Structure 1
Amino acid sequence: MRAFATLLERLVYTRSRNAKLKLIGDYLKETPDPDRGWALAALTGGLDLPAIKPALIRALVEERVDPVLFYLSRDYVGDTAETVSLIWPRPDHVPETDLDLSLGAVVERMRSLSRSEAPGVLAAYLDRLEPEERFALLKMATGALRVGVTARLAKTALAQAFGLDVDAVEEVWHGIAPPYPTLFAWAEGQGAQPRAEALPVFRSFMLAHALEDVRVDMADYAAEWKWDGIRVQLVHAGGETRLYSRAGDDITRGFPEVATAFRAPGVLDGELMVKGEAQGADEHGGAAASFNALQQRLNRKAVTAKMLADYPAFVRLYDIMFDGTEDLRELPWTERRQRLETFAAKLDPARFDVSSLIEAEDFTTLEAIRAGARDASIEGVMLKRRDSAYVAGRRVGLWYKWKRDPLTADCVVMYAQRGNGRRSSYYSDFTFGCWTDEGELLPVGKAYSGITDEELKWLDRWVRNHTVQRFGPVREVEKSLVFEVAFDSIHSSGRHKSGVAMRFPRIARIRTDKPAAEADRLETLQRLIT
């Protein structure tokens, strides 16, 4: 555990991307199997320890430490794992056991635990580990490392350390289970490159750059709507179908009607949505409900018959990566588009359609079309270079995303909470509200993004000086500060007292010039509901 704990600590305090790549790469080269494989799984979100839950960790520490002291410490530190690792009392006498404290042994033991075994085993590990190692163990167990490392960065570090192509690593990643013995054997030249042709594995998506101060020639680019669902990849290979999210998570069980309907061998790229009230086609290519409707289906362990009937899912197709076993990614977009339309014609039209193209003779015409579109399920416009291959990741000049202009509202700050990671010492998560006709302030959203480091420090001081009440880690503040909040759309919500929920809220600016009494009213937001 010591080496992995040291790696996490260094990653937390390292800002440079190249320095992070070197830290991870050096660790993977110097650490033996299976420890390095489990470390890589933890860094990429591929490690699951189902018996260890945050509630169990809190219960264990409350048995050993005054609960009031623990929660005050948690409020100050801003992170449960870090608090527990520091406050956990080392027993005066630790009985001799045969516990192996290597990373691989710890992970293997904890993966096999039942719920009844978990408290005793976890406590035994925490008793024997040093604070840095406890922190690593708890972060790994809860799946919330927050060390500034994405899955892609970790895979890039592996590729650079062993002289591999990162796209080749991505290509086989989901066909190999942790601790990835065949992957490391290939990396070190001791085994063949893993293959995934007959497996329904995830391939990396092609991504787009934001269109900023760029005007493109429509002779070189095709335009289509950017839909407001979730990006998915449909894979059918070896007689099996899988649906993957943009992050590569398997979401097949959550959308069985889509998986069942996709039985043609191939790999498609599209947007998962649910149908709107009108089942016919609209001017943009089909009736899709807002993202709020799709949210009713997301992250469900079980899907009821009622949910399938009330929120029927479908996929609006963007691109084709494989037709059967034929890899089409090197073909230009124009040829892939033709192949996609041919492929899609064989699919169930109740579950699949092709995203329609926008006819615009020049960029000025496209600007006007985009400005006039604020449909509930349209997020903006995609621009795709007609000769572009399907390339994993973001490549400059190939695809652009041009989101619609956000909506804005002036809202009053109501509550503040500490952030996580490097923001754990600051009040950086804010709940804000709007006024009812009766003069009551009701929460309408929560945001933490959009502010600079200097603004963060100013807001932290403001919160500390204007707190009126505390609720554990949350501070209620004077209702005197206004944020201009930007958001993509707003929807009805039965879960919120205000009856509304914002989509992607972020802080556009701090309105110190505006009195709180002049902030927007709830009825203003209700008129924007889609």
Structure 2
Amino acid sequence: MNRFAALLDRLSYEPRRNAKIRLMADYFREVPDPERGYALAALTGSLSFRHAKPNMIRSLIAERTDPYLFALSRDFVGDTAETAALMWPVEHRANYVPPLSEIVEGLHETTKADLPNRIAGWLDALDETGRWALLKIITGSLRIGASARLAKTAVASLGGVEPDEIELVWAGVRLPYEDLFAWVEGRGPRPENTDPAPFRPPMLATAIEDTANWREALKPEDFAAEWKWDGIRVQAVAGRDPEGHLVPRLYSRTGEDVSEAFPDVLGALNFEGAIDGELLILREGRVQSFNVLQQRLNRKTITPKLTTEYPAHIRAYDLLVDGTEDIRPLPLTERRARLEALISRIANPVIDLSPQVPFADWPELAAKRGDPASGGAGVDSDAVEGLMLKRRDAPYVPGRPKGPWFKWKRDPFNVDAVLMYAQRGSGKRSSFYSDYTFGVWRMVDGTEELIPVGKAYSGMTDEELARIDRFVRKNTINRFGPVREVTHEPDEGLVLEVAFEGLNRSTRHRSGVAMRFPRISRIRWDKPPREADRIEHLEALLREATA
């Protein structure tokens, strides 16, 4: 466990991509099975535990330290795992250091009643870094700047295998990945997937900016365009087991099996194959907003009433497997033709085809992006996030290759809002006030007042973040635990230009509106708070969006 903890610690401070890959590759090369397999699972986010949850950590530390002191320390440090690791009292450290394999297996197998004592025993035996690593595994959020793709790239480097090859066999390997390492190192055959309905790593798009450069570099005739739907990326798969029974499954973009949550979709998977598409809510032939879809997501109990009120739907835009044939190596045009034929054959209202958007040149496509209703999306235009551009000759490959797929989102909405509250961030941002609550003006009983309309923590450069942090510290007028209220008088304060993807009505917010994906796009040092926007501006945007 100490070796793995040291790896996490070094990765968290290493900013260079290639250096991170070398650190992980060295670890995988020098650490034997099965330890390195469990490490790979942790680095790729493949570990989940039924009983080990963050609340258990808080309960354990509360029994051994002053809860008030822990709360203050957590607010200062900004990370629960790091705070608990530093504050954990150890009078006599055991001579035995548990290996990572023992910890992962123990977290899986130990009963809920016995788990707190077992975790406490491990924490007693580990040093501060080891405790931090253990608690990070339990919380499931490593935050070390190393993605699952980067970890798989490090594994691929052990034997000169392409990272895409790791992605292709990933669904067929299981903890502790001994067959994967044997194959990469040339000691065994390529792993085969025996699951009749496996998940296949998705292909992702690269964002493009609305500038002339990309338009000059890309030829319109080389690309097909589709609407980018505001839903949840899913993979609908069905295959036959050894007895010949059809096994249908629905996966999220990350490979989580969400079949039980969508029985109405599962019943429509009466074909052999694998469809890549978007999960939406479709009522009376019209795609609903993401806010409506959220009413269906993460429900523990799926009732007939729920499926009737929020009917799930798949809008298909690619076909990965046709029958038993893997057609991912084929160009998009051929996959699309097979997808159209499959949708026609199954003829199920729960699954339809995502229409392509015809265009002759980039200006025409830009016009349709700006007005999806007139561009062909019709009544579904409110659920359009933008456009997808896909090379007609491109195969379907996992990851985010540069060149084949692009996402061209619609221009975001913008509002000038006043900074009202600030809170410390988490992880590397724990020393900065980087989480902001902002508001706009409204008239109440003849007096102008600010009303909060959103929170954001992204969009700033490190330099901008440091400047806002200094402003917060110098202009604090009140404190509420970890939160600071900053001056926001009409002529004193800070205005932030906030970009957001959309608005929805909300009964949980005082303002009556909820922003989708807000981010700070610009700091308006030149603008006094009295010139910030009013709530009427947001209400007008909402009326326009729902008209």
- TM-score using structure 2 length: 0.91
Equivalent residue letter for 2:499: A
CA distance in 2, matches of 1:90, 1:341: 64
**Cα–Cα, structure 1 residues 476 and 378, in superposed 2: closer, same or farther, change >3 Å?**
same
User: In the TM superposition, what is the alpha-carbon distance from 1:403 to its structure 2 partner?
Assistant: 0.8
Aligned partner of 2:160 in structure 1 is 163
Q: Does 1:128 align with 2:125?
A: yes
Unpaired runs of at least 5, structure 1: 281-286
**Cα–Cα, structure 1 residues 94 and 74, in superposed 2: closer, same or farther, change >3 Å?**
same
1:518 pairs with 512, 519, 531, which one?
Answer: 531
Equivalent residue letter for 2:82: E
Query: Mean Cα displacement is larger for which, 188-197 or 312-321?
Result: 188-197
Query: Mean Cα displacement is larger for which, 392-401 or 404-413?
Result: 392-401
**Structure-to-structure mapping, 1:356-371, within 5 angstroms:** 356-371=355-370
Q: Does 1:338 align with 2:344?
A: no
Q: Is the 8 A contact 2:205 2:405 kept in 1?
A: yes
**Structure-to-structure mapping, 1:430-449, within 5 angstroms:** 430-438=436-444, 439-449=448-458
Aligned partner of 2:432 in structure 1 is 426
Q: Is the 8 A contact 1:258 1:351 kept in 2?
A: yes
Secondary structure of 1:248's match? coil
Equivalent residue letter for 1:144: S
Q: Is the 8 A contact 1:371 1:404 kept in 2?
A: yes
Q: Does 1:203 align with 2:164?
A: no
2:147 pairs with 142, 147, 150, which one?
Answer: 150
1:176 pairs with 173, 177, 186, which one?
Answer: 173
**Cα–Cα, structure 1 residues 499 and 306, in superposed 2: closer, same or farther, change >3 Å?**
farther
- Residue by residue over 1:474-518, the C-alpha shift from the partner in whole angstroms, topping out at 9 and shown as x without a partner, is 222222221110011111122222221111111011112222233
Secondary structure of 1:389's match? coil
Q: Does 1:272 align with 2:274?
A: no
Secondary structure of 1:388's match? coil
Equivalent residue letter for 2:368: I
Query: Mean Cα displacement is larger for which, 335-344 or 292-301?
Result: 292-301
Q: Is the 8 A contact 1:237 1:265 kept in 2?
A: yes
Secondary structure of 1:461's match? helix
- Residue by residue over 1:285-335, the C-alpha shift from the partner in whole angstroms, topping out at 9 and shown as x without a partner, is xx2111111111223333232221111111111111110111212222112
Q: Is the 8 A contact 1:197 1:325 kept in 2?
A: no
CA distance in 2, matches of 1:469, 1:179: 51
Q: Is the 8 A contact 1:235 1:243 kept in 2?
A: yes
Aligned partner of 2:395 in structure 1 is 389
- Residue by residue over 1:444-480, the C-alpha shift from the partner in whole angstroms, topping out at 9 and shown as x without a partner, is 2211111111011111111122223333322222222
Q: Is the 8 A contact 2:268 2:348 kept in 1?
A: no
Q: Is the 8 A contact 2:440 2:535 kept in 1?
A: yes
- Residue by residue over 1:255-314, the C-alpha shift from the partner in whole angstroms, topping out at 9 and shown as x without a partner, is 2211221121111111111114xx23xxxxxx2111111111223333232221111111
1:253 pairs with 257, 260, 269, which one?
Answer: 260
Q: Does 1:455 align with 2:464?
A: yes
Secondary structure of 1:136's match? helix
Aligned partner of 1:283 in structure 2 is none
- Residue by residue over 1:412-469, the C-alpha shift from the partner in whole angstroms, topping out at 9 and shown as x without a partner, is 2222222222212111111212233313433222111111110111111111222233
Unpaired runs of at least 5, structure 2: 241-245, 374-380
**Structure-to-structure mapping, 1:3-402, within 5 angstroms:** 3-91=3-91, 93=92, 101-196=98-193, 198-212=195-209, 213-215=213-215, 216-238=218-240, 239-276=246-283, 279-280=284-285, 287-373=286-372, 375-402=381-408
Q: Is the 8 A contact 2:388 2:405 kept in 1?
A: yes
CA distance in 2, matches of 1:17, 1:218: 33
Q: Is the 8 A contact 1:431 1:445 kept in 2?
A: yes
Equivalent residue letter for 1:493: S
Equivalent residue letter for 2:439: G
CA distance in 2, matches of 1:296, 1:50: 24
What is the root-mean-square deviation of aligned Cα atoms in Å?
1.9
CA distance in 1, matches of 2:484, 2:112: 34
Q: Is the 8 A contact 2:172 2:194 kept in 1?
A: no
Q: Does 1:501 align with 2:498?
A: no
User: In the TM superposition, what is the alpha-carbon distance from 1:85 to its structure 2 partner?
Assistant: 0.9
Secondary structure of 1:10's match? helix
- TM-score using structure 1 length: 0.94
User: In the TM superposition, what is the alpha-carbon distance from 1:348 to its structure 2 partner?
Assistant: 4.3
- Residue by residue over 1:64-91, the C-alpha shift from the partner in whole angstroms, topping out at 9 and shown as x without a partner, is 2222222222122111111111111112
CA distance in 2, matches of 1:175, 1:331: 22
Q: Is the 8 A contact 2:168 2:201 kept in 1?
A: yes
CA distance in 1, matches of 2:509, 2:174: 40
Between Structure 1 and Structure 2, the one with more helix by share is 2
Q: Is the 8 A contact 1:85 1:132 kept in 2?
A: yes
Aligned partner of 1:474 in structure 2 is 483
Q: Is the 8 A contact 2:418 2:438 kept in 1?
A: yes
